[in-house]
Structure 1
């Protein structure tokens, strides 16, 4: 055991632990919730510390040997991340995790220099010219940029698979439905095409939002004024960090604004919510089109991916669409959480930045998994062409074009008198208006009804 102290007192820490007294106190104050920081967030934070050490060495603010040891320790982030023990849901606007990272890097740097733990200082060396308030938010933005790109790749893949199905099913005519009731005919491929276009909008929106999230407040230190950091450091740190992490970031025009206002996170998550809305809709449509399959719609043949029931043999449930819908519901709740937390910041700082960053990243990862699972599922969906044809032939909405010939009320009356039987309704109209059944059926040919404007 080793003894560490701060102005609050002393604690004993196991010799093999690289975290220090601040991390120890944080874990006592904020017990584990089961939440874990996103790995890319941890990586981004280590890259910030590496960039700071690199620049401080260049500018002569830190001993070169200590700076080199810090830089080497930061490059070991994959190993050292297991020593980041602070829970994401901790108080202090992220101070606990910043100190946890500072301590781990400092102690590892001490080892690399063959010195006792404590030789390299967490604050005086690793945290030099930084604050939690500029490092935490900057790490969050870098991590979100990286994760957003991964999510966009999954959206592209899902969109392309749906477009493949659009082409495969384009000639299959079926009944359309409005408010779950029979509507005019539509091509099965047209339904898939509408889903693909919705995802194309999500893809475009998420691509564009990176323009705003790449503006970071690193160098602004505590409240965006750069207090405690020399001017030459403030002016150069963004460029050094950009090269270090290879992510296109830029110095915010107003570091005070970028430190205290979290609206960009709310904006980003609003777009994640919009994606969730579309994924929910697509998944629910798949459930409905595959429902039954023998006693309901049954127009899609859903993949058999697992046993559907522990008591009903042979049952096949739409488990992947339901998984995606559950993910969407979680993201909806995260959106409300992030909006409230972003609004609740006070004056020069948002004290809830750990919650905002954590749940934004969590939503991105959940949606990435949802898109991946749904892609694999849709790839194996088949069309039940016979059921599509049967349902279409029974639909009374096929008579919709006839209102231009006989009038709305006359067609409605024929439907009522025929007890919603399509053939009987056509026969009644034929007899009343002395037009052959064949001529009337030509007017409601499904080949024409699925074309824009008929």
Structure 2
């Protein structure tokens, strides 16, 4: 393999001749063989976007030669379009607060810009990774800003999936509104309800989670770009400081603002913790719903079997015909993943010292994965589970009618103590509440039919009753 020699403050090192990365990227690759996972492609796109915005701003400020600026802008756009992906060789988890990620981007853009200007890779006298591509920037303002842009980008499809889930649940709520079933508290019979009410509650929950995530994502719009190393804006021209964030906002399409306090925005990661917390809350809600779906569909012969989930694949390598609730199961596993990542993100935010948090790489790695895993989990939940759920109407009705829980409706007429005695007798003797009340002559059949009308027990108001 032919090589070229590059040097940095550590020394001289051979770099593959045709590589667009340089010596600092190569050192990082050797130092950080951690996860085996590359940096997130959306994160790379946003790093390149910042380099483009910086070149545009430095050109307008009269600090960057026009030819060099145009070459940097062109190279940045190519990276944003997905080119040179294999040149980003640094592991997603790395020491140095993201300096390796920043320099990997600086070197790739610099070498591509050199190529565009007719000079060879590694000849940084034309376009230098630090002096030109990284002009008026620091890892410490570039990396947090790229992280926030990436979160904003990744949350958009996640919110879209939550909207689809909300719609699918509302559709099922309407479809199942005529299905009377037994409600349960602490896994014990409670009082009758409609299956549609359960799905409506799930829909409301999903929409609330979407709104919570949307609201907290606005914290990502305040960025510290222009603060450079610690927030003092050292090595930054006044024109650059005033225009870099507006230029980035224009290029990104997000209403970004420069943080009121650049020191605060450089050293604190609480915004990312808040986003992760909203994701965890959503994940816990969805997992709870999926637990319900697994219980309600348990069986098919010896469980509740009030609903049937769509059969998606064989459930066992040894038990013929077995079908498992694999979609709710995977959603719950994603919830566990997100909860674990949330702990990591919180610890990374807490671990910062003084004017910088050096642990953004692991926070971002986990946060990006949480968002993308949630998006995938919700998509498969909607398409491969919710949309195909069927209600087992007869089973729901039979379980409700055989339950002693309907005795709750007797309390206003017979008193709590007597109603409790009837409920216990019904369970003990395997008889229905209706049978015991009529046999003991406690109410007339007409009175009892009115009191034990399941529709009246589900909160249905006059004029809204639907035929079974």
**Residue 98 of structure 1: CA displacement?**
0.4
Residue among 4, 21, 24 paired with 2:23: 21
Contact 1:172 1:188 in 2 (8 A): yes
Contact 1:427 1:437 in 2 (8 A): no
| Other structure's SS at 1:358 match | helix
| Other structure's SS at 2:352 match | coil
Distance 2:158 2:359 in 1: 25
**Structure 2 match to 1:42:** 44
**Residue 421 of structure 1: CA displacement?**
5.2
Instruction: Map residues 55-454 of structure 1 onto 2, 5 A cutoff.
Output: 55-77=57-79, 78-117=82-121, 118-119=123-124, 120-376=127-383, 377-420=385-428, 423-430=431-438, 432=440, 434-451=442-459
**Gaps (5+ residues) in structure 2?**
463-468
Contact 1:396 1:422 in 2 (8 A): no
Distance 1:452 1:345 in 2: 55
Question: What is the TM-score normalised by the length of structure 1?
Answer: 0.97
| Other structure's SS at 1:79 match | coil
Distance 1:140 1:66 in 2: 27
Q: How many residue pairs are counted as aligned between the two chains?
A: 454
1:195-225 CA-to-partner distances (Å, cap 9, x unmatched) read 0000111111112123221000000000011
Change in Cα spacing, 1:396 to 1:12, as seen in structure 2 (3 Å) is same
**Residue 34 of structure 1: CA displacement?**
2.6
**Gaps (5+ residues) in structure 1?**
none
1:226-257 CA-to-partner distances (Å, cap 9, x unmatched) read 01111211111001111222222111111111
Q: Considering only aligned residues, what root-mean-square deviation do their CA atoms show, in Å?
A: 1.5
Distance 1:288 1:34 in 2: 38
1:14-62 CA-to-partner distances (Å, cap 9, x unmatched) read 1121111101111111114133322211111000000111111111111
Distance 1:442 1:44 in 2: 65
1:375-400 CA-to-partner distances (Å, cap 9, x unmatched) read 10210111111111111111110111
Contact 2:404 2:427 in 1 (8 A): no
Question: What is the TM-score normalised by the length of structure 2?
Answer: 0.94
Residue among 54, 71, 76 paired with 2:56: 54
Distance 1:430 1:198 in 2: 41
**Residue 368 of structure 1: CA displacement?**
0.6
Contact 1:396 1:420 in 2 (8 A): no
